[in-house]
Amino acid sequence: MTLPQPPTSSPSPTGVPPLGELLTAARVVSLPLVTHFRGIDVREAIVIEGPFGWTEFSPFAEYDDHESAAWLAAAIDFGWNETPMTVRDVIGVNATVPAVAPGRVASVLARFPGCRTAKVKVAGGDQTLADDVARVRATREALGPEGRIRVDANGGWNIDEAEHAVHALAGFDLEYIEQPCATIEELAEIRFRTKYMGIPIAADESVRRAEDPLAVVDAGAADLLVIKAQPLGGIRNALSIVRRVGLPVVVSSALETSIGLAMGAHLAACIPELEYDCGLGTASLLAADVTTDPLLPVDGGIPVRRVTPSGALLERHAAAPGRADWWLARLERCHAILAGRL
């Protein structure tokens, strides 16, 4: 397969490249995962070659077009513009432990060489608190006392469940708890109830899926924010939020290909103060990628660089025609939203 040459961009009056330019350079892929994660076994995405390199559009399937349009804006920003000035060339990353049985935790962590921070998924629909405690305990045993553990509930608990879970997990010396409850009001309440325990509360969905990403800060509902380049409309928009919030941030991925992870790495590289390891090591959760040189963790970090896909891998992992058509139609609708036609 011969990769297309970078197109010469001819932006519309709205600043959005013409639809035909995007479609011509787009490749829809379907990548298998190492383990079941976020309710899926494969990760679908569109990768697109822009004038400044390859970029990615990969909102999750359940997101509506208006929410997904921000992801397309991010793809355009990364592929059609130079990235802002960076201040580091390697990003420290955490391991990610899906909702697996405790006996599988060590093998999952082995896919993240050198990582001394682990994010453990909890509050899954078919998981009990006892399951979560066992998984976090296995993670602590694998990392030892010097390892850092954060847990991510993805808004899966109500306030009382979250309070009970915080007490059950506090003995594992948590770095923070990410999105324990779904709403900003619930986050503020659980932060108030558990503040005496000294475990910070991080907001993720309350930032990236909110109409006003700053509302969680205004409500005093979080101690730090988890930000992602694609859902926030791109590197520049995310940096604007970082400058305005005045809280520590963690840059995380949306289970992207290495091309999408490169966007996240560039965002992290632009942030002057980065106190925490970032959730950008998730190429380790993919059983296949679009490049022969994926952004896998080495010595606990990933490099800040652009990623070019392999033509052979794009062909091997091309989505089935029906799925490709679904994704391209979705791109077209989101383009119409960005261009102001819907």
178 is in an annotated binding site: yes
Task: Name the burial class of residue 182, with classes exposed (0-12), middle (13-18) and buried (19+) by CB atoms within 10 angstroms of its CB.
Answer: middle
**228 annotated active-site:** yes
CA separation, residue 21 to residues 8, 10, 25, 319, 330 (Å): 9, 8, 6, 20, 15
Question: If you write DSSP's letter for every residue of 204-226 in order, what string do you get?
Answer: SHHHHTSSSTTHHHHTT--SEEE
| DSSP label at residue 133 | H
**Identified catalytic residue from 228, 236, 266, 335:** 228
Contact call for residues 285 and 34 (beta carbons, < 8 A)? yes
Among the listed residues 161, 180, 160, 168, the one whose alpha carbon sits nearest the alpha carbon of residue 136? 168
131 is in an annotated binding site: no
**Identified catalytic residue from 119, 121, 266, 317:** 121
Contact call for residues 258 and 307 (beta carbons, < 8 A)? yes
| DSSP label at residue 279 | B
Distance between CA atoms of residues 109 and 225, nearest Å: 24
Distance between CA atoms of residues 112 and 237, nearest Å: 29
The C-alpha angle with vertex 241 and arms to 239 and 243, in degrees rounded to 5, equals 70
Among the listed residues 85, 79, 55, the one whose alpha carbon sits nearest the alpha carbon of residue 270? 85
Query: Which amino acid type is present at position 183?
Result: T
> Which amino acids are annotated catalytic?
121, 228
Annotated binding site for Mg(2+): which residue ranges? 152, 178, 204
Give the annotated binding-site residues.
Answer: 152, 178, 204
